[in-house]
């Protein structure tokens, strides 16, 4: 994902590779401009770029206001009906822009016929199971459109015929007329009111055909248990006998049922997102697919929100949780902010205090073990300095003169960017940055103080060697995987790490994919090498299920081997993208096999602070020697 600096803020932009790059190039060429990120890309179900509809998207940018169309489609929400409406409405847009452009570009007629023929070729190749997973409403309208292009006849119901005729948008429509026409269709044929649908929809995956019938047959009643905040009490010394475990009940939902309430809840807990709505849509549209199609993302600062508290756990009456390490009374269930009248203010105050109490426990643990921690910092800093001096070179800087960068020289004529040369840096610094990722799920609740001190040792040691370190904590709640920044690269102080607190679930695969997306372009702009160290107990477990797909009729729980395999795939992709990834394992012996499956040989197990510096030093050396991420 390319990152563009605007002032002091990093702006997320779409990352294009493979078919995505092919699609974007067609859109830019049709639009006659290359200075924007297309809000839409078109693909066939097999992943190949749909050249004709990408051409339509580009022409929409030329003749219409594509940003306003994007806002309109976002206002429909994420329900199954809204997704069907969006797919069908693009047939109307296609009709309009085709008529506008065809007089100037006669080749469009032949391209349109090729697209119509491709539809019938693809349809003939679908298996019966794939046909059952299709939206028949969308299929009927596509068939009607492409049959008319080829001069064929198709048998439709009266309602489908009326909709097909309504989708023959005239060429004289401007953006306002287009939106008015689409609004009428949404209300008449889909019972959607743009602007309101997004408030009531949730991110769901449809199960159609036989799969849907079976699901309705065996799951007549929906089990719903919204994830709630937990408060931790007790001495705060940590418990190494085991981790707090969260269990699953088949078919159970862990959201409130309202996308707006869940979003407000996340914002209350963690504060505003660091990125704009548009930037987060780019991330979610790219990453929240397949296994994670029902999930959302949230990236926040360490300051948190009104609550500033830990993430969530469901009530014991609906959600089976087993505390294998904490003493009785250590966990108290708090109410769900925003869902109980009159509870919001008192709960916000209580949860802010709980977060502050955890910070004080982390600091107290640090003070009680300060001599050992400071000794670890000195030892690890010395090892780090030696290791980096041996394995890394000094970082050159971009300049307006010097050795030309062949891969970036195109930026000079296209973007008027003169910094396409390399010159030797006057400042001696290691050509590396380190990201430290802390699992902050409820399974870490009994070890919060130890984990905060471990992260502090690593960050302080690297900073003393002039190596930029960013520290983030992650957990999942109500379908949101939340990435919370405790320390930025520019922040030389490490005290923010003591704001670490644990609670909720952990969808390791999605978090690792998000880190990969955010880090891989920084590898080019910030350093020649990137390192990701994950402090984990190697026990991925989330309340949001894996949606059904062509091979699986029912949704599956995100736990056990499925979750481990998902996290392992994300680690492989990180290394393929040149990010050296390793783990510091601090957890139960029963999960040793998991950490090996996910991280291979690139992990160390920590049992106490006395062995910490030597273990991390050995891990760092191993990660730098790993040729798989070179």
User: For 133-173, how does the pLDDT look when each residue is reduced to its tens digit (9 = 90+)?
Assistant: 567 888 889 989 999 999 988 888 899 999 999 999 999 99
Query: If residue 225 lies in a helix (H) or strand (E), which one and from where to where?
Result: none
**By three-state DSSP, how is residue 147 classified?**
helix
Q: State the pLDDT confidence band at 431, using cuts at 50, 70 and 90.
A: confident
For residue 535, is pLDDT > 60? yes
- Greater confidence (110 vs 322) lies with 110
For residue 455, is pLDDT > 50? yes
Point out the least confidently predicted range of 409-418, 433-442, 508-517: 409-418
Cβ atoms of 411 and 446 within 8 Å: the answer is: no
What was the pLDDT predicted at 14? 61
Q: What mean pLDDT do residues 419-442 have? A: 74
**By three-state DSSP, how is residue 222 classified?**
coil
**By three-state DSSP, how is residue 78 classified?**
coil
Encoded tokens for 516: 């990969």
Q: State the pLDDT confidence band at 241, using cuts at 50, 70 and 90.
A: very low
Using CA atoms, how far residue 482 sits from 5, 24, 212, 248, in Å, is 23, 29, 31, 20
Q: State the pLDDT confidence band at 131, using cuts at 50, 70 and 90.
A: low
Q: State the pLDDT confidence band at 349, using cuts at 50, 70 and 90.
A: low
Residues 182-204 have pLDDT tens digits of 999 999 998 888 865 444 444 44
What was the pLDDT predicted at 454? 92
**By three-state DSSP, how is residue 473 classified?**
strand
Find all residues with CB under 8 Å of 495, minimum gap 6, and list them. Answer: none
Point out the least confidently predicted range of 226-230, 483-487, 539-543: 226-230
| Pairing assessment for the beta strands 312-313 and 331-333 based on DSSP bridges | unpaired
**Domains detected in the chain:** 3-209 (no CATH), 228-394+430-629 (3.40.50.410), 396-428 (no CATH)
- Greater confidence (308 vs 474) lies with 474
Residues 26-83 have pLDDT tens digits of 898 999 888 787 888 887 766 678 889 989 999 999 999 988 998 898 888 766 788 8
Could you give the CA distance from residue 35 to residue 40 in angstroms, rounded to a whole number?
15
Highest-confidence segment of 29-33, 202-206, 211-215, 314-318 = 29-33
What was the pLDDT predicted at 446? 84
What was the pLDDT predicted at 526? 63
Q: b/e string for 243-258 if b means 16 or more Cβ within 10 A? A: bbbbebeebbbbbbeb
- Greater confidence (430 vs 407) lies with 407
What was the pLDDT predicted at 248? 57
Could you give the CA distance from residue 325 to residue 234 in angstroms, rounded to a whole number?
12
């Amino acid at each position: 994902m390319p990152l563009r600096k605007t002032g002091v803020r990093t702006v997320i932009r779409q990352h294009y590779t493979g078919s995505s790059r092919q699609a974007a190039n067609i859109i830019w060429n049709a639009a006659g401009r290359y200075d924007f990120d297309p809000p839409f890309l078109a693909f066939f179900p097999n992943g190949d770029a749909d050249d004709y509809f990408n051409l339509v998207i580009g022409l929409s940018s030329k003749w219409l206001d594509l940003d306003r169309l994007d806002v309109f489609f976002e206002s429909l929400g994420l329900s199954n009906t809204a997704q069907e409406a969006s797919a069908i409405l693009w047939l109307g847009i296609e009709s309009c822009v085709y008529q506008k452009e065809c007089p100037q570009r006669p080749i469009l007629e032949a391209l349109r016929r090729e697209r119509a023929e491709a539809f019938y070729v693809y349809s003939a190749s679908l298996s019966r199971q794939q046909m059952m997973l299709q939206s028949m409403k969308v299929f009927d309208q596509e068939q009607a459109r492409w049959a008319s292009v080829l001069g064929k006849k198709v048998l439709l119901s009266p309602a489908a015929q009326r909709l097909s005729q309504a989708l023959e948008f005239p060429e004289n429509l401007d953006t306002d007329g287009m939106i008015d026409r689409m609004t009428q269709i949404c209300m008449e044929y889909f019972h959607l009111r743009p602007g309101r649908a997004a408030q009531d929809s949730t991110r769901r995956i449809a199960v159609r055909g036989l799969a849907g019938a079976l699901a309705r047959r065996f799951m007549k009643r929906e089990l719903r248990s919204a994830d709630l905040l937990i408060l931790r009490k007790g001495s705060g010394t940590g418990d190494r006998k085991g981790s707090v475990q969260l269990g699953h009940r088949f078919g159970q939902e862990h959201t409130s049922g309202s996308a707006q309430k869940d979003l407000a809840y996340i914002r209350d807990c963690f504060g505003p997102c660091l990125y704009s709505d548009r930037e987060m849509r780019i991330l979610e549209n790219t990453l929240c697919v397949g296994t994670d199609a029902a999930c959302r993302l949230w990236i926040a600062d360490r300051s948190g929100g009104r609550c500033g508290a830990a993430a969530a756990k469901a009530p014991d009456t609906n959600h089976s949780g087993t505390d294998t390490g904490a003493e009785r009374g250590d966990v108290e269930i708090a109410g769900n902010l925003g869902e109980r009248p009159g509870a919001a203010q008192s709960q916000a105050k209580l949860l802010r205090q709980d977060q502050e109490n955890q910070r004080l426990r982390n600091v107290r643990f640090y003070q009680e073990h300060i001599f050992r921690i400071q000794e670890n910092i000195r030892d690890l800093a010395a090892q780090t300095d030696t290791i980096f001096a041996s394995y890394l070179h000094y970082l050159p800087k971009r300049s307006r003169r010097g050795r030309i960068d062949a891969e970036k020289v195109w930026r000079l004529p296209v973007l008027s960017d003169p910094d396409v040369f390399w010159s030797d840096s006057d400042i001696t610094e290691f050509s590396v940055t380190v990201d430290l990722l802390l699992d902050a799920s409820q399974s870490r609740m009994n070890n919060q103080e130890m984990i905060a001190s471990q992260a502090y040792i690593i960050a302080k040691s690297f900073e003393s060697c002039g190596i930029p370190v960013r520290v983030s904590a992650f957990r999942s709640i109500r379908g949101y995987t939340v990435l919370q920044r405790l320390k930025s690269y520019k922040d030389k102080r490490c005290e923010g790490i003591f704001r670490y607190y644990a609670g909720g679930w952990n969808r390791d695969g999605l978090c690792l994919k998000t880190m990969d997306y955010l880090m891989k372009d920084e590898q080019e702009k910030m350093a020649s090498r990137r390192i990701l160290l994950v402090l984990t107990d190697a026990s991925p477990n989330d309340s949001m299920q894996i949606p059904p797909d062509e091979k699986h009729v029912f949704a599956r729980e995100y736990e056990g081997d499925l979750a481990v395999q998902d996290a392992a795939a994300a680690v492989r992709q990180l290394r393929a993208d040149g990010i050296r990834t390793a783990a510091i394992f601090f957890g139960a012996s029963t999960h040793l096999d998991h950490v090996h499956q996910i991280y291979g040989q690139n992990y160390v197990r920590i049992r106490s602070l006395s062995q910490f510096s030597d273990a991390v030093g050995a891990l760092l050396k191993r990660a730098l020697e790993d040729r798989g991420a070179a």
